[in-house]
Chains A and B, each alone.
Chain A
Amino acid sequence: MSNRLLGPLLVLPALLVLLLLFAYPLAYSVVGAFRSDEGVGLANFVKSFELYRRDILFTFLIVGLSTALIALFAIAIGGYLVLGNNPTAVAVLRWLYRWPLFIPFIVAGQLMRTFLAKNGLMNGMLVEAGILTPLQTISLLDWRGIVIAFVWKQTPFVTLLVSGAMASLDRSMFEAARNLGASRLRILVEIIVPQVARTLLVGLILSFVIMLSVLSVPLMINAQTPTMITANMAFRINAYGDYGVANALGVISYVMAGAVAWIYLRYAVAERMDQR
């Protein structure tokens, strides 16, 4: 058999699975979003906005805030790993930050559900340490709990990508800047971050989309209103068999993911223009 045919033939089965089990249901969800008892139209979207306007905004804010915090922590940890003076502290940090890397969201949700509760270990330890009195303790099991679970779970992933990119930069550049008297913070912000911006953006966008579709964390930490639209989608299906509104909410989440991807594309295009 000629090589020309063999290649496509070997890739075909995997691509078929992708087509049947991803592209087809994806198209099905978009079509379903525009179909209701009243025929083809925007009825599902109108109903989604009537019922879940707050949750849609809430979802966007929660995931956006989590992404911003992840960016901040990933840059700070990655920056210390590459610029830190003390090898012991760098080694300890490198060993520490990764623990949540492969922990599934559902486990992170359960961990935070017990840790952040009013009588959870966090408050218990703060009380024992004399930082809080038992009356001052509060439960963080609301939007804050979701943000904490997301940031806890996703920061190692973005940090791993970013610190890998930082480690491959030319170190002589930082040393030259330090010899000229630049502070480490300034080197990080003005020299290192711009050079790893692309890797950082890819990690953040993937995290944004992943967090946008997590069902277990909002169900376990905060299923009351306002909650994330993933919980609403599951509710529409389980309680009413209402695929129309569930799909409309799905399309709204595609739009959010698309908006973020668009920011990346604009950045990538602008970067390419600069290089010319």
Chain B
Amino acid sequence: MSAWRWLPRGIVLGVIAFIVFGPLVNMVLWAFTERWYFPHSLPLEYGFSFWGRVFAPRGGAIESLTNSVLIATGTVVLALSLAVPAGYALARLQLPLRSLILLAFLLPQAFPNLPVYINIARIFYTFGLNGTYLGVVLVHTTHGLVYAVWIATAAFAAVDRELEEAARNIGAGGLRTFWTITLPLAAPGLMASAIFVFLESLDEFTGTYFVGAPDVQTLPLLLYSASAGGNYQIASITALILLVPSIAFMFVVERFFKADVLARVGR
């Protein structure tokens, strides 16, 4: 009886699993395919020869990967050095129009951003920032700032005020209290915001396409040009490299987000 009751559930879950994993399995197959053509349902030959080609000096993957990691690191450093003071002020200090300021950081995500990137590229061109690492880092920072500021604000708001007051009472100054008490206690939340910003930058396509290409080549741009050229193996290998951190983060995100921080995001 109970086995029969599992039948509809099993079918629905199976269909969902097919929808979720089918495209992923197809990509993994392509990444290790040597030969695969119509009408064969599965690859005819598996192997690593395309991996060798992608990671060869002229394949572009090493250069793109290095660029992507450098840009994402630069974006994290810049975004957090803006967001830590801003988040602290939004969480702890007197601020006129506080909720309006918080909302303002959401705007780059709440507007269609492609026309904005087109015009940033045009403005950057006059300053010589087009096709430079700094230009791309600036674009990614603006886009990631909402995560950085909102999560930093929530992380600082979750720090127990009494601990700060205790430090002040035994004579620590404002700055010392911040460095020795507030910042270490907010660190896990800030770490989460750093990972968010890093991933956003790693995955960003549109802004890099207009501001960076063709001088600054990142993994998403390499993926796009390989796919446009019909080279599914190289596109799938690049996609796989981008996929691993995304999926890993999906599994650990809840460990970084303590409930007390999560409940305060956007407030």
- Which A residues are closer than 8 A to B by beta carbons? 3-4, 6-11, 13-15, 17-18, 21-26, 28-29, 32, 86, 89, 92-93, 96-115, 118-122, 124-125, 127-128, 134, 152, 206, 209-210, 212-216, 219-220, 230, 233-234, 237, 243, 246-247, 249-251, 253-254, 256-257, 261
Q: Which residue of B lies closest to A119 (CB)?
A: B38
Chain A residues near B220: list those with CB within 8 A.
104, 106, 216
**Chain A residues, CB < 8 A from B88:** 10
Interface residues of B in 32-88 (CB under 8 A from A): 37-42, 82-83, 85-86, 88
Partner of B112, one of A7, A98, A234, A253: A253
Say how far A241's CB is from chain B's closest CB, in angstroms. Answer: 10
List chain B positions with a Cβ less than 8 A from chain A: 9, 13, 16-27, 29-30, 37-42, 82-83, 85-86, 88-90, 93-96, 101, 104-105, 107-120, 122-123, 138-139, 141-142, 145, 149, 199, 203-206, 209-210, 220, 223-224, 227-228, 232, 235-236, 239, 242-243, 246-247, 249-250, 253
**Contact, CB under 8 Å: B39 / A134:** yes
B116 touches A216 (CB 8 A): no
**Interface pair B105/A119, CB less than 8 Å apart:** no
- Asked whether, in the complex, the Cβ of A237 is within 8 Å of the Cβ of B118, the reply is yes
Please, which residues of chain A bring their CB within 8 A of the CB of B141? 17, 21
Decide: A86 near B9, CB < 8 A? Known: A13-B85, A121-B22.
yes
- Closest B residue to A12 by beta carbon equals B86
Across the interface, do A96 and B107 meet the contact criterion of CB distance under 8 Å? no
Are A124 and B27 closer than 8 Å at their CB atoms?
Answer: no
**Docked CA distance A220–B236 (Å):** 13
The interface residues of chain A lying within 8 Å CB-to-CB of B199 are 102
For A111, list chain B residues within 8 Å (CB).
23-24, 26-27, 239
Nearest neighbor of A215 in chain B, beta-carbon distance:
B206
Complex: A105 Cα to B206 Cα, angstroms:
10
B27 contacts A209, C-beta separation under 8 Å: no
The chain B residue sitting closest to A118, CB to CB, is B38
Nearest CB to that of B196 among chain A residues? Answer: A102
Please give me the residue from chain A that is nearest to B5 by CB atom.
A86
Chosen A-B contacts, 16 in total, with CB atoms closer than 8 Å, are A11-B86, A14-B105, A22-B107, A29-B115, A29-B116, A106-B239, A110-B227, A110-B239, A111-B239, A115-B22, A209-B110, A219-B228, A233-B115, A250-B116, A253-B114, A257-B110
Query: Are B118 and A11 within 8 A (Cβ)?
Result: no
Q: Do most interface residues of chain B lie in helix, strand or loop, or is the interface mixed?
A: helix
Partner pick for B13 among A96, A118, A122, A127, CB 8 A cutoff: A96
Q: Report the separation of the CA atoms of residues A213 and B228 in the bound assembly, to the nearest whole angstrom.
A: 20
Report A255 CB to chain B, min CB distance, Å: 10
User: In the assembly, what is the distance between CA of A233 and CA of B122, in Å?
Assistant: 14
Enumerate chain B residues within 8 angstroms of A103, measured Cβ to Cβ.
243, 246-247
CB-defined contacts of A253 to chain B, threshold 8 Å = 112, 114-115
CB-nearest residue of chain A to B18: A125
CB distance B22 to A7 under 8 Å? Answer: no
Q: Are A206 and B203 interface neighbours, CB within 8 A?
A: no
Q: Is A250 a contact partner of B26 (Cβ separation < 8 A)?
A: no
Contacts of A206 in B (CB 8 A): 109-110
The listed residue (B83, B96, B204) touching A8 by CB distance below 8 A is B96
CB neighbours of B41 from chain A (8 A) = 121, 124-125, 127-128
Are the CB atoms of B247 and A11 closer together than 8 Å?
no
Docked complex Cα distance between A99 and B251 (Å)? 9
**Residues in chain A near residue B39, CB distance under 8 A:** 119, 134
Chain B nearest Cβ from A68, distance in angstroms = 17
Whether B86 and A107, one on each chain, are in contact in the complex, defined by CB atoms closer than 8 angstroms, is no
A104–B118 Cα distance when bound, in Å, is: 20
A99 to B108, CA, bound (A): 25
Residue contact B119 to A32, C-beta cutoff 8 Å:
yes
Residues on B with beta carbons closer than 8 Å to the beta carbon of A124: 40-42
Measured between alpha carbons, how far is A257 from B107 in the docked complex, in Å?
Answer: 12
**Residue from A17, A93, A109, A122 having most chain B Cβ neighbours under 10 A:** A17
- Supply 4 further A-B pairs (C-beta < 8 A) apart from A96-B17, A118-B38, A250-B112: A7-B93, A9-B89, A10-B86, A14-B145
Q: Quick check: A99 and B94 within 8 Å, CB to CB?
A: no
B115 and A22 form a contact (CB under 8 A): no
- CA–CA, A194 to B105, complex, Å? 29
A101→B206 CA distance, assembly (Å): 19
Known interface pairs A213-B206, A215-B209, A246-B118. Does A10 touch B93 (Cβ–Cβ under 8 Å)?
Answer: yes
Contact (Cβ within 8 A) A14 B113? no
A110 near B115: Cβ-Cβ < 8 Å: no
Complex CA–CA separation, A268 to B33 (angstroms): 52
In the complex the two chains form, is B83's CB within 8 Å of A7's CB? no
B112/A107 in contact, CB under 8 A: no
CB distance A92 to B13 under 8 Å?
Answer: yes
- Across the two chains, which residue of chain A brings its CB closest to B10? A89
Given contacts A102-B199, A105-B205, contact A112 B109 (CB under 8 A): no
Q: Which residues of A contact B120 (CB under 8 A)?
A: 21, 25
Which residues on B sit within 8 Å (CB–CB) of A214? 206
A102-B17 contact in complex given A3-B93, A250-B115, A253-B115, C-beta closer than 8 Å: no
